Chain A
């Protein structure tokens, strides 16, 4: 297992280099010439040259990239143009809200997705199965920003069960609609994967053997069925986490949720590039780490993977 972990961490390095290269290039293009932007057209050429030297902007690109990496490693993502504060401070303030929302969405998706998938797989082609599959398809096909609006309309405005937006200083009541919105897509994927994976397992010979031994149906299902069906489901859950991050900017914007997604959207609207690039980097890092976590979990659940992965 340790060898696998080390190998997997090594493959992470080129991706991290790639991610920082992309973000460095984007910052470079988007900032254009920051000194010109600061000084305007009437700037004194000598002063401009001096500032460029001070900030290292006269250095070749690879030197600038190395310096950028150096700053990153010290946790320095630059300062916001608008709020005149460190980008890392802005993000630390908002990260908990995003993680809270993502965790709640994931919880909803796993609980409802797995339950629905199991119910569907136990009785294939029954009305429960059909209903689950139709709902899963709807969950997968509905764009988050529209389902958010429809939930606000129905549960916030017409029925008045939940507040329609805001953080409510962390009150769980404010969390429900955004989390359902963000989790709907994943619920669909997880339900589908649980169903097809469990159906596959139920057809295996060892299930018949277990039943032939006289074990009770629930024991056969739980001990032999679900455990073996879990592996593909774990993968989908990992991919889902990534999708959650994609949905975060939209969901947070609609529900006025004070997370990183909304920070990023506002920063784009304000042309606050250091914040935009900082958020992009954090999203990518969380995404990469989530995938790493899934791979490790996957290898733990299915020992064959540790030995097979030699590409």
Chain B
């Protein structure tokens, strides 16, 4: 049965494979990397891809392949931690707004609207400016502050719909507590859209981190991030393109994997959306 499921949803399969590569690179970086990603060797600077340096070397002679492998760590960390925080905040606020309605709903949704009124990267840039101190930790805090809104919206919607279900009304009738109704009956039924939103959200976080780092407001050297690699490689783009091609491809395949996975899950859970 599992096999037919995979066959019917090949996008989930391809997405999972791409994600597996990402996770394996992040976790197994010390074993997969062929060189020390930080070791500078100026006499080998800007060498093209070759047997000893699969993706070539950057202007300090550092091995691009090893740096791409280590870069998966920052991307995966930012993507997952930010999304975990976002899901916790989003589920909590969305459930409260949808379940209790009225004034609380209006208030929480206006706050959500306010955050959604900013193009996300623009507000992230402004917040990084306020922090004055770029770095991985602040990137995670800033993106977490911004990322919860879509989850909150989705959860509010499914709680609103779930409240009307017969079994929820039945639970209410036999005197179950609000907390029990919300967490045992309503939320588990609305979990699928949250998972889908979160999967796409992880992709968004990874791109945002790379974008911030690319502009110089995110992860700072010497931490290896695909965004900083692209920022540093930009000066050599037209003459030694490999310093830009490979970190970008890693980013592309990561986002592609998450999008395929998310799209596939949506088809799986909700065949009508095809």
Q: Do A and B come from one complex?
A: yes
Asked if A242 lies at the interface with its beta carbon under 8 angstroms from chain B, I say yes
24 A-B pairs with CB atoms under 8 Å apart are A14-B110, A15-B113, A30-B129, A30-B130, A137-B256, A137-B263, A140-B259, A141-B252, A143-B252, A144-B211, A145-B230, A146-B230, A249-B121, A249-B122, A249-B125, A249-B215, A254-B234, A268-B129, A269-B216, A271-B129, A277-B126, A280-B118, A280-B122, A284-B118
Report B-chain residues with C-beta under 8 Å of the C-beta of A284.
117-119, 122-123
Kindly state whether residue B238 has any CB partner on chain A within 8 Å: yes
**Chain A nearest CB, measured from B159 CB (Å):** 14
- Closest Cβ of chain A to B19, distance in Å, is 13
Q: Which of B111, B113, B126, B263 has the most CB of A within 10 A?
A: B126
For the residues of A in contact with B, the DSSP-based class is helix
B196 on interface, CB distance cutoff 8 Å: no
Q: Are B251 and A143 in contact (CB under 8 A)?
A: yes
A98 to B171, CA, bound (A): 55
Q: Are B230 and A268 in contact (CB under 8 A)?
A: no
A250 touches B130 (CB 8 A): no
Tell me whether A18 and B126 are in contact (CB under 8 A): no
Known: A18-B111, A149-B244, A152-B237. 15 other contacts (CB 8 A): A14-B114, A15-B110, A19-B114, A19-B118, A30-B130, A146-B248, A149-B230, A149-B248, A153-B238, A157-B238, A196-B273, A246-B122, A269-B216, A276-B129, A284-B122
A150 and B248 in contact, given A14-B110, A29-B130 (Cβ under 8 angstroms): yes
Asked if residues B237 and A276 are in contact (CB atoms below 8 Å), the reply is no
Interface residues on A, range: 35 or more
Interface centre among A149, A153, A269 (most CB of B within 10 A): A149
Of B119, B230, B237, which is in contact with the most chain A CB atoms at under 10 Å from its CB? B119
Interface residues, chain A, with chain B CB atoms under 8 Å away: 14-15, 18-19, 21-23, 26, 29-30, 137-138, 140-146, 149-150, 152-153, 156-157, 164, 196, 242-243, 245-250, 253-254, 264-265, 267-269, 271, 273, 276-277, 279-280, 283-284, 287-288
B215 lies within 8 A of A265 (CB): yes
Complex CA gap A285/B25 in Å reads 42
Contacts of A150 in B (CB 8 A): 245, 248
Chain B residues within CB distance 8 Å of chain A: 110-111, 113-115, 117-123, 125-130, 132, 203, 207, 210-211, 214-217, 230, 234, 237-238, 241, 244-245, 248, 251-252, 255-256, 259-260, 263, 273-274
- Could you tell me the distance in whole angstroms from the C-beta of B107 to the nearest C-beta in chain A? 9
**How far does the Cβ of B180 sit from chain A's closest Cβ, in whole Å?**
27
Q: Give chain B residues whose Cβ lies under 8 Å from the Cβ of A276.
A: 125-126, 129
- State the CA gap A141–B261 with chains docked (Å): 12
How long is the Cα–Cα vector from A85 to B113 in the complex, in angstroms? 33
Assembled-state Cα–Cα distance A153/B215 (Å): 19
7 closest residue pairs by CB, A with B: A18-B114, A146-B248, A246-B119, A157-B238, A245-B119, A141-B256, A30-B130
B126 touches A143 (CB 8 A): no
List chain A residues, Cβ under 8 A from B217.
268
Q: B119 contacts A142, CB within 8 Å?
A: no
